[in-house]
Amino acid sequence: MPSGPLMIIGGAEDKLGKRGILKEFVAASGGRDARILVIPTASSLGPEIVEVYEALFSKLGAGHVRAARPESREQAHDAELVAAVEGATGIFMTGGNQLKLSGVVCGTPFGDAIVAAHRRGAVVAGTSAGASIQSSHMVAFGSGGATPKQRMTQVAAGLGLVGSTVIDQHFDQRNRYGRLLMIVAQSPQLLGIGVDEDTAAVVEVVDGHEVLRVAGRGAVTILDPARMVSNAHEARRSAPLLASGVTLHVLPAGSSYDLTTRTLVPLPPVVDETEAEEIAEAGRDLRKLARDIAAGDVSPSNLRRRLARARRATETVVPRTGAPGDPGATTPLPAPDRDGDPA
């Protein structure tokens, strides 16, 4: 069975309007047959955070919603909590403190069960902190800003559902370009992925390739440092970093990116509706003409001859009877041949 989809949500997903991202998660989890597990470990809120998502997913048609909340690594070894993960078709990790989430979940039976669920086909989604933990490396904490600076952020281990990547969230809204650049400058083998709020990077396996598709209101920013030149190895303290040659991709909704080959997936052609209607109308006219010709059992060559004869007939003066020398009399035309043309 192929791995299930990953939904990496940049935080602040729409919960009151169209709720497009959450609808897609519920549908991918099985709709009425879904067994959704909410993991609110990262959140500082109490039972209310669970109640919010339980109500949302139930209203969107999920058949069964429950929560599992390990608060320590010891609890993440609990067999009952692990069994809850094993029975889920959809897993949703809430936002909050990503370092807490990583410290409690990664490297435990509970975390291993999340990875196994993904591999057996379950949908794994996460918003904010729940998005960052899906990468192999995750932002633990750090300041915002557009300029990459030494030591402006810290990195922790993630679940590794998306290999060789580092994921950041609330990306444009909190100006996190600099800290993502700092991480890839220090570790150029990693692909940097920044996800805006109310936006999801949906990762699925297509023809053996991991393909990232963008859904939602914002964009996904990808930093590919494969050919990067940096001075991260020698910059001191909080000095600005040299970061040259980074390939930048800003992907709005509907865009796709091949994570396996690190290339943009070409967009499908956009058809102009007005032009399409004009072409369709011309096609209808041509089909009608063809039917009219067929109904009269007239071949195109015969039709051309008839039209030619009709034009010549209008140009020919019809003779009238008159006495020789009469000014109104005309010379009779020669008799036509069998084809109707004058001999």
pLDDT band at 324 (very low <50, low <70, confident <90, very high): low
CA distance 190 to 244: 16
CA distance 320 to 315: 16
**Tens of pLDDT, residues 27-61:** 999 999 999 999 999 999 999 999 999 999 999 99
Tokens describing residue 89: 């078709």
128 carries an active-site annotation: yes
Mention every residue, 6+ apart, whose C-beta is less than 8 A from residue 187.
Answer: 137, 155, 166
Q: What is the mean pLDDT of residues 258-270?
A: 92
Mention every residue, 6+ apart, whose C-beta is less than 8 A from residue 252.
Answer: 214, 218, 219
pLDDT exceeding 70 applies to what percent of the chain?
Answer: 87
64 carries an active-site annotation: no
Tokens 């989809």 label which residue? 5
Do 112 and 76 touch, CB atoms closer than 8 A?
A: no
Alpha helices in 33-89 (DSSP H): 47-59, 79-86
pLDDT exceeding 90 applies to what percent of the chain?
Answer: 76
Catalytic residue chosen out of the listed positions 102, 170, 210, 249 = 170
Catalytic residue chosen out of the listed positions 197, 210, 249, 255 = 197
pLDDT for the residue 325: 55
pLDDT at 293 over 70: no
DSSP letter assigned to residue 117: H
Annotate 244-291 with DSSP letters as a single string: ES-EEEEEETT-EEETTTTEEEPPPPPPPHHHHHHHHHHHHHHHHHHH
Do 30 and 19 touch, CB atoms closer than 8 A?
A: no
pLDDT at 17 over 60: yes
Residue 315: strand, helix, or coil:
helix
pLDDT at 343 over 90: no
Residue 163: strand, helix, or coil:
strand
Tokens describing residue 99: 């370092």
φ/ψ of 4, rounded to 5, equals: -75, 170
pLDDT for the residue 14: 98
233 carries an active-site annotation: no
Catalytic residue chosen out of the listed positions 128, 135, 230, 255 = 128
Lowest mean pLDDT among 134-148, 162-176, 223-237, 289-303: 289-303
CA distance 64 to 190: 37
Do 229 and 197 touch, CB atoms closer than 8 A?
A: no
Tokens describing residue 57: 């997913």
pLDDT for the residue 150: 96
CA distance 194 to 199: 10
φ/ψ of 167, rounded to 5, equals: -115, 135
Q: How far is CA 202 from CA 159, 195, 212, 267, 282, in A?
A: 16, 11, 5, 16, 41
Tokens describing residue 69: 């909340």
pLDDT at 340 over 60: no
Single-letter code of the amino acid located at 90: G
